[in-house]
């Protein structure tokens, strides 16, 4: 009988295949279920070290795919428990809806937040920031505004009330691009709050004509 394998395409992933979270997700389920071998494939599109949770999302989708493939019929609570064992933010990607994450980022509160009609523009300046570097540089501090209340207000107010502590921690360590990443256009003049998440600047804008997602994947993970 063949062994469980994971093949990779797309963006190069540091480390060995054996350390990939998709295989760790399989091994975690294998501890509790007599799973047959699986042939898994990951097409990597999300940049590495960009603070976008790409590896954590891969792990979450691997758990969901294996649950469906082997008809384990795991509840959401069970999947969340497995995901938390893989990484603090892995569980966040299971529900695919807005959530407020607290504690280590693996305890969630529901949010009455609709992003209908909104496109998220992600600018990735090809700067790699490891998770260890990001959290090693950050200085925790009390927020000036309650995040729950701030997110309940119109999006145009977020640039003044929603902040990201990674910005101040990582900005001095990274050089700014010598030229603007994109010229200003009327579509990008709506109020927005740029923030870094261990790498890229992220802004929310009104939906653009023919806006399309840049996220894609193949196989059981994405």
More confident residue, 53 or 208: 53
In-domain check, residue 211 = no
- Asked which of 108, 126, 156 is the last residue of a domain, the reply is 108
For 89-109, how does the pLDDT look when each residue is reduced to its tens digit (9 = 90+)? 899 999 988 899 988 888 999
Q: What is the predicted pLDDT for the residue at 175?
A: 61
pLDDT, mean of residues 116-133: 83
Strand segments (E) across the chain:
5-10, 39-44, 99-102, 107-110, 118-123, 195-196, 201-206
Same domain, 45 and 86: yes
Tokens of 7: 């093949």
- Whether 90 and 168 map to the same domain: the answer is no
Give dist(CA 68, CA 61) in Å, integer. Answer: 10
pLDDT tens for each residue of 3-15: 999 999 999 998 8
For residues 164 and 207, which has the higher predicted lDDT (pLDDT)? 164
Residue 30 lies in a domain: yes
**Residue 213 falls inside a structural domain:** no
- At which of 58, 80, 108 does a domain end? 108
Q: Is residue 202 assigned to a domain?
A: yes
123 and 95 share a domain? no
| pLDDT recorded at residue 114 | 83
* Same domain, yes or no: 82 and 125: no
**Hey, what are 17's tokens?**
């295949």
Instruction: Tell me which of 200 and 170 has the higher pLDDT.
Output: 170
Overall size of the chain counted in residues = 222
Regarding whether 181 and 125 lie in a shared domain, the answer is: yes
According to the model, what pLDDT value does residue 178 have?
52
The proportion of the chain whose per-residue pLDDT surpasses 90, expressed as a percent, equals: 41
Tell whether 38 is covered by a domain. yes
Q: Using the predicted structure, report yes or no on whether residue 203 has a pLDDT greater than 50.
A: no
User: Mean pLDDT across the chain, nearest whole number?
Assistant: 79
pTM of the model: 0.75
Structure tokens, 199 = 């790498």
Confidence of residue 88 (pLDDT cuts 50, 70, 90): confident
* End-of-domain residue from the set 108, 126, 141: 108
In a domain, 172, yes or no: yes
Query: What pLDDT, on the 0 to 100 scale, is given for residue 176?
Result: 57
Instruction: List, for residues 29-84, the tens digit of each pLDDT value.
Output: 999 999 999 999 999 999 988 888 899 999 999 999 999 999 999 999 999 999 99
My answer on whether 194 and 122 are in the same domain is: yes
Instruction: Say if 212 falls within a structural domain.
Output: no
Looking at the structure, do residues 98 and 131 belong to the same domain, yes or no?
Answer: no
Q: What's the pLDDT score for residue 83?
A: 97
**Residue 71 shares a structural domain with residue 152:** no
Considering the domain boundaries, does residue 214 fall inside one?
no
Residues 10 and 103 in one domain: yes
With a pLDDT cut of 70, the percent of the chain lying above it is 77
Using a 10 angstrom Cβ sphere, with 0-12 exposed, 13-18 middle and 19 or more buried, the burial of residue 121 is middle
Residues contacting 39, CB < 8 A, separation 6+ = 2, 4, 5, 7
In which domain, by residue range, is 53 found? 5-108
| Domains of the chain: total | 2
Same domain, 140 and 199: yes
At CA 52, angle to CA 98 and CA 12, rounded to 5?
A: 145
Q: Quick one: 150 and 200 in the same domain?
A: yes
- The single residue listed with the structure tokens 């082997």 is 70
């Amino acid at each position: 009988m063949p062994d469980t394998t994971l093949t990779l395409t797309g963006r190069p992933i540091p480390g060995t295949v054996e350390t990939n979270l998709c295989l760790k997700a399989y091994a975690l389920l294998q501890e509790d279920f007599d799973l047959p071998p699986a042939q898994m494939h990951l097409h990597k599109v999300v940049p590495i070290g960009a603070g976008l949770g790409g590896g954590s999302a891969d792990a979450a989708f691997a758990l969901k795919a294996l649950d469906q493939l082997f008809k384990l019929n795991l509840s959401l609570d069970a999947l969340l428990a497995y995901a938390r064992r893989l990484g603090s933010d892995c569980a966040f990607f299971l529900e695919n809806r807005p959530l407020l994450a607290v504690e280590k980022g693996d305890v969630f509160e529901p949010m009455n937040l609709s992003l209908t009609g909104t496109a998220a523009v992600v600018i990735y300046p090809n700067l790699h920031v490891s998770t260890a570097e990001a959290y090693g540089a950050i200085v925790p501090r009390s927020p000036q505004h309650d995040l729950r209340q701030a997110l309940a207000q119109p999006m145009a107010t977020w640039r003044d009330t929603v902040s990201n502590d990674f910005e101040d921690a990582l900005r001095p360590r990274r050089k700014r691009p010598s030229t603007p990443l994109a010229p200003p256009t009327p579509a990008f003049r709506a109020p927005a709050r740029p923030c870094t998440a261990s790498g890229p600047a992220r802004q929310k804008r009104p939906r653009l004509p023919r806006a399309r997602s840049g996220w894609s994947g193949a196989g059981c993970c994405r």
